[in-house]
Structure 1
Amino acid sequence: MAALAFGTVLLAISSRIEVPMVPVPITMQTFAVAMIGALYGWRLGTATVLAWLGQAALGLPVLAGGAGGLAHFAGPTAGYLAAFPVMAALIGWLAERGWNGDRPGLAFLSMLAGNLLCLALGAAWLAQGIGWDAAITHGVLPFVLGGVLKSAVGALALRQLGRARRT
């Protein structure tokens, strides 16, 4: 329970670190989701992300910009929100199979795959409202470099955490 609570707090804090953009802001949420998946594994990681989304659905101010409420699960960011538990599950599943801090190259690839999956699912939802071209232009392309950088930082952080545990 403590790990789940810590994870939801981490996600809420990461939501507050944002660059406002329309229709989807840049936040540190994907970094937090990736780290939670990698550190917690697929079961606890997914449960943690789902608990955080449950808090958001109840109206707690845990989403980007301190938002909360059911409206966000039907708006332009809904596909990304729905993708977060899938992202955590994928990264956690891969981490349990050795794609972790002991192998930072694989950890990077797992986090990158999770970020790309999130972008694909988010864009698929966004495209229903603004079309595929606009969804790619506004909901994918601005986030690719950030996804690569967050994946690299995440892999390095996992490596350092692994080293710290061994000493």
Structure 2
Amino acid sequence: MATTFATPNTLLGLYQPKSRTARLVSAVAVAFLGSILLTISAKINVPVWPVPVTLQTMAVAALAAGLGARMGMATIALYLAQGLAGLPVFAGAGAGLPYLMGPTGGFILSWLPMAFLIGYAADKGLSRRVVPLFAVMVGASIFGFAIGFAWLLILSGQAGWIDQSNVVMSAYKGAVEPFIVWDIVKMAFAALSVVAGWALLKRN
């Protein structure tokens, strides 16, 4: 398992090469391709303030379910490293540490534990069943919202868009409530996409 990078219960695990070197090369390639997908999903956005609407949570969920916990987290970590290095991979125009220290930072960082939770479920065989996979994705998304919301509250003292007389409700109304329904829809699409991938492979 130490050199497989993905379990046979994941889509990636079915296609791993036999040699250790080939597995490592393929894992690096998959992580880079995944980071490109995350970048593209970031650029497809509605630039509302303080948190833009993007397709990234759907991409995170689908990648984690398809790759498993280990490669899912590695892909997210590579994406974060690219952003910290100054590459224009985030939804906004900024990059680097200042961007992550902004209002969206908590949501972006929450993708690591999200990828672990969803990827772990996939490693255990849930990525072939729509309802259980969707339930795990929604649970992971709620966990991500909690981290992002806590981050917003930490920043509330210096945020002009937050009503300082009602910090908690203002942060919730501005950066959490508008995204709940959209994230449920995105998790449904992510779950259906991964399960459809299994169905396609079985048919072939």
TM-score, normalisation: structure 1: 0.95
Separation (CA, whole Å) in 2 of partners of 1:65 and 1:164: 36
Contact 1:37 1:45 survives alignment (8 Å): yes
> Which of 109, 115, 119 is 1:82 aligned to?
109
Structure having the larger proportion of residues in helix = 1
Higher deviation after alignment, 104-113 or 130-139: 130-139
One-letter amino acid matched to 2:78: A
**Are 1:23 and 2:59 counterparts?**
no
Q: Which runs of 4+ in 1 moved over 2 A?
A: none
Shift of 1:66: 4.7
CA separation in 2, counterparts of 1:115 and 1:121? 10
Q: What is the one-letter code of the residue matched to 1:4?
A: A
The C-alpha deviation readout for 1:33-80, integer Å capped at 9, x for no partner, is 111111111111001101100000001000003532111121111111
Between the two proteins, the alignment pairs up a number of residues equal to 166
Q: Given the superposition, is the C-alpha separation of residues 72 and 65 from structure 1 closer, same or farther in structure 2, using an over 3 Å criterion?
A: closer
Unpaired runs of 5+ in structure 2? Answer: 1-27, 157-166
Equivalent of 1:132, from 165, 168, 177? 168
Contact 1:20 1:26 in 2 (8 A): yes
Relative to the length of structure 2, the TM-score reads 0.78
Task: Give the distance between the partners of 1:134 and 1:6, measured in 2 at CA.
Answer: 37
Shift of 1:96: 1.1
2:82 equivalent to 1:55: yes
Q: CA RMSD in A?
A: 1.1
The question of whether the paired residues in 2 share the 8 Å contact of 1:83 and 1:118 is answered with yes
Which of the two has higher C-alpha Rg? 2
Q: Deviations over 1:105-137 (max 9, x none)?
A: 011111111211111100100012233212211
1:151 aligns with 2:182: no
Letter in 1 for 2:142: L
1:84-99 equivalences in 2 (<5 Å):
84-99=111-126
Q: 2:134 aligns with which of 108, 111, 129?
A: 108
Give the Cα–Cα distance (whole angstroms) in 1 for the partners of residues 175 and 146 of structure 2.
Answer: 9
- What fraction of aligned residue pairs are identical, expressed as a percent? 37
Structure 1 residue runs of 5 or longer lacking an equivalent are: none
Residue in structure 2 matched with residue 5 of structure 1 by the alignment: 32
